[in-house]
Structure 1
Amino acid sequence: MTHDVIVLGAGMVGVSTAIHLVRRGRSVLLIDRRAPGQETSFGNAGIIQREGVRPHPFPRDLATLVQVGLHLSTAARYDPLSLPRFAPALARYWWKSSPESYKAIVKSYAPLIGQSIDAHADFIAAAGAEDLIVKNGWYLAFRTDTVLKAEVRKAQADHDEYGIHYEVVDGAEMAQIEPGLKLRLAGAVHWLDPWTVRDPGALVSAYARLYAGLGGEVATTEIKGVTQDSTGWSVETGAGPYRGREIVIALGPWAQEILDPLGYRLPLFVKRGYHMHYRQPESQPLKNWLLDAEVGYLLAPMQKGVRLTTGAEFAPRDAAPTPIQLGRAERAARGLIDLGERLDPQPWKGARPCTPDMMPIIGAAPKHRGLWVAIGHAHHGFTLGPATGRVLAEVMTGEKPVVDITPFAMERFSGTYPST
């Protein structure tokens, strides 16, 4: 059987793209080696970050660079032996984080983030997943007044330019909001627009059930490669070949295993991250999503318990996990709240797929007809999945996309892969 479209990758981006294509009358097959939402989309902070108009830049201030370089930072860590592999992409990442370049990136990025809540709301209602959603925003908390004031200035600028809503909460108010806090914080920026999710993997699973209910098909099997002929594409898998007139690569940090043999050697790299669940304090449980910004970890009251998520680790995708970052974050978190015992047998580890210019790659591959990509979302794949799926499906079916995807085209990296 030949499908109209085969989507490779069943994370938030792949599932969302598959839904939008099925809704537009396409016959779609979704393929992944694991069930939907069990890889990168499983292990995140569970925030639909409507406020996230500014992707994470490479630090350019000396103090942060020294902290990271000397392994003093909890928010970021790197594997020294892997630096030669990462160096070209990181150098470009640093360059694209310059004030002028970054300003242009934010201008292109913000409209896509602007679609995030509406795109998720559509799926949440259709999937009947409202029980997983909390609409109280989240708190970006600070331990010192100077850093808080600097962040408030940024928040005001985002409000003025992009309509992001926030409130400033002082230390006394924060103690009332979270009475279990053991430290008196300077305060927090309360981002009002975002929604939070009690179980991110379960939300992707709910979207996958929506997709199946619309007539979409799923194959859970290893993806070995793709080939093109005059009638379309063949996907070789552990269960045999599947045929599609078009394919979408939404494989996150595994995308290059398909794209490299096709000649697309993109400057992608990964930021790894960890999470662990802990038992909630019985007397004063954590109520809200809280980012301890000056240390560099986040606490989220999930269905399973309090989820602690770490910052970024620059290391090869499949390298053995390292306990240092999570250990430091856990020690800091135990000083902030009465965090209970660990609930997971071992920390979860995942890899965020990143580009040097902090923007995803969305659209047609320039050298192959019927090859589409939706990769490189870094920290915002969970947030941007439904919006990405919408704009890509619109382009694929000849509609005018709700957001101009020209800035996200693969051609911006054309110098990194050979022309035919």
Structure 2
Amino acid sequence: MTLDCLVLGAGIVGVSAALHLQDRGRSVVLVDRAAPGHGTSYGNAGLIERSSVVPYAFPRKLSALLAYGLNRRSDVRYDWSHLPKIAPFLLRYWQASAPKALEASAAALLPLIEVSIDEHRALARRAGAEPLMRAGGWISLYKNPAAFALAAREAEQLRSSHGLAVSILDRASFLALEPAFSEGAPIAGAVHWEDPLSVEDPLALTTAYAALFTHQGGHLAVGDADTLEQDGNSWAVQTAEGRVVARDVVVALGPQSAALLARFGLRVPMAVKRGYHRHYHQEADAMPGRPVVDEDAGYVLAPMRQGLRLTTGIEFAAADRAANDIQLKACETAARHLLDLGRPVEAEPWLGLRPCLPDMKPVIGAVPGLSGLWCDFGHAHHGLTLGPASGRLLADLITGQPPFADAHGFSPARFSG
């Protein structure tokens, strides 16, 4: 099979890239070892995060550093034995979180954030997936009055500087909007980010986009990206249906991307943030109306088809290390102080991997010195949000069209010096 483009990885990022390339007249094969959306794309909080105009930065206050350093927080935990390996990444992450560097990363990401909802709606409309999306935004909930006051001031600043729709909720206003939460819950106040959309089943959304791709003539193939090799001026990979050759290949393998690219000489300083989720059975009148983030404990409660999904924050540990339920149990305990959390739906929680770069920006663009090798990965916490937007930007670059956003800051060349 010979065609224009191979896309390696059928998560939300890879599927979106394949669709945008297909829309530009390219023949595309989408290759993965599993069905679309069954990796990292399955386990997120279901947010299309139009309001996240500032990346998740490394904490710089001494008090926060001490709390994290002592491993006493539920939003971030780390395996002590993994710390020496992750230390160089953490240092670069800390450096990139300095005010001027963070401002530069935010400016680079903003054009993609700004079109994230429009790009999703365009694909969802064509894929018949609009019923999976809910308006109403999401809520940051605070238990500490001082933290709430600070968050309210910062939200007001973002409202004025970026035109975001934001409401500041006192305790009574929050409980009126979200009556599933207990009257006696320790709530100081909340910030309602109204612009974002939420998705009631991220796997179903990725599956719907993949079905649109095949309906339009695209081909899904089962294969192993590790078989990728250069074939003259082309690229080839082995699939269950045989060898597939294409002029261009897109690496959209999420947390597995850096290892593959290292074989071809590109060293990407990517780290993997592990995260867990579990669903809990809720009666209809006990289900929150929108995702709620417990900012003090660092987890999300998101209403899903399967139940109320509790997603944890960050765990730094080896990707292949056995699951550790300490973080999830701490978050579950905190959640039960806020609402009547039902019984777990699954016997065991889900564990997934988020691909993260120290400068908080994804890798989108051509690999220097290797014609036809392209990247689209490293979206950290915003793979669902930015999948369609980054797919559009990548397709612009591959097809030689004027990019809708400045792609320079996302280039793999930033790691080849």
**Cross-structure match for 1:362:** 364
Decide whether the 8 Å contact of 2:121 with 2:130 is kept in 1.
Answer: no
Distance between the aligned counterparts of 2:82 and 2:241, measured in 1? Answer: 35
Post-superposition shift, 1:237?
4.2
Q: Which amino acid aligns with 2:33?
A: R
**Cross-structure match for 2:12:** 12
- 1:407 aligned to 2:395? no
Distance between the aligned counterparts of 2:47 and 2:320, measured in 1? Answer: 25
**Cross-structure match for 1:378:** 380
Distance between the aligned counterparts of 2:396 and 2:287, measured in 1? Answer: 44
Q: Structure 1 residues 224, 237: closer, same or farther in 2, change over 3 A? A: farther
**Cross-structure match for 2:280:** 278
Q: Which amino acid aligns with 1:77?
A: R
Post-superposition shift, 1:175?
1.1
Q: Aligned match of 1:311 in 287, 310, 313?
A: 313
Q: Structure 1 residues 185, 128: closer, same or farther in 2, change over 3 A? A: same
Distance between the aligned counterparts of 1:225 and 1:150, measured in 2? Answer: 51
Post-superposition shift, 1:196?
0.2
Decide whether the 8 Å contact of 1:223 with 1:238 is kept in 2.
Answer: no
Post-superposition shift, 1:184?
4.5
Render the CA deviation track for 1:48-80: whole Å, top value 9, x for unaligned: 000011111111112222221212101000111
**Cross-structure match for 1:418:** none
Distance between the aligned counterparts of 2:162 and 2:312, measured in 1? Answer: 28
- 1:77 aligned to 2:77? yes
Post-superposition shift, 1:236?
3.1
Decide whether the 8 Å contact of 1:310 with 1:325 is kept in 2.
Answer: yes
Distance between the aligned counterparts of 2:130 and 2:221, measured in 1? Answer: 27
> How does the TM-score come out when normalised to structure 2?
0.97
> How does the TM-score come out when normalised to structure 1?
0.96
Q: Structure 1 residues 122, 282: closer, same or farther in 2, change over 3 A? A: closer
Render the CA deviation track for 1:222-249: whole Å, top value 9, x for unaligned: 3323211323011134654211111000
Decide whether the 8 Å contact of 1:171 with 1:184 is kept in 2.
Answer: no
Secondary structure in 2 matching 1:258: helix
Render the CA deviation track for 1:310-356: whole Å, top value 9, x for unaligned: 00111122211110000000011111110110001211011100001
Distance between the aligned counterparts of 1:227 and 1:287, measured in 2? Answer: 48
**Cross-structure match for 1:296:** 298
Decide whether the 8 Å contact of 2:14 with 2:252 is kept in 1.
Answer: yes
**Cross-structure match for 1:124:** 124
Secondary structure in 2 matching 1:338: coil
**Cross-structure match for 2:44:** 44
Q: Which amino acid aligns with 1:388?
A: S
Distance between the aligned counterparts of 1:268 and 1:225, measured in 2? Answer: 21
**Cross-structure match for 1:349:** 351
Post-superposition shift, 1:177?
1.4
Decide whether the 8 Å contact of 2:223 with 2:237 is kept in 1.
Answer: no
- 1:230 aligned to 2:229? no
Q: Number of aligned residue pairs: give it.
A: 415
Q: Which amino acid aligns with 1:173?
A: S
Decide whether the 8 Å contact of 1:253 with 1:317 is kept in 2.
Answer: no
**Cross-structure match for 2:152:** 152
Post-superposition shift, 1:160?
2.3
Q: Which amino acid aligns with 2:288?
A: L
Decide whether the 8 Å contact of 1:226 with 1:234 is kept in 2.
Answer: yes
Distance between the aligned counterparts of 1:366 and 1:161, measured in 2? Answer: 36
Overall identity of the aligned pairs, in %: 47
Gaps of 5+ in 2: none
Q: Which amino acid aligns with 1:143?
A: K
Q: Which amino acid aligns with 1:122?
A: A
Q: Structure 1 residues 237, 52: closer, same or farther in 2, change over 3 A? A: same
Secondary structure in 1 matching 2:302: strand
Render the CA deviation track for 1:112-162: whole Å, top value 9, x for unaligned: 111100110101111111111110101011112211121122222222222
Q: Which amino acid aligns with 1:112?
A: L
Q: Which amino acid aligns with 2:95?
A: W
- Alignment RMSD, CA only? 1.2
Post-superposition shift, 1:281?
4.0
Gaps of 5+ in 1: 416-420
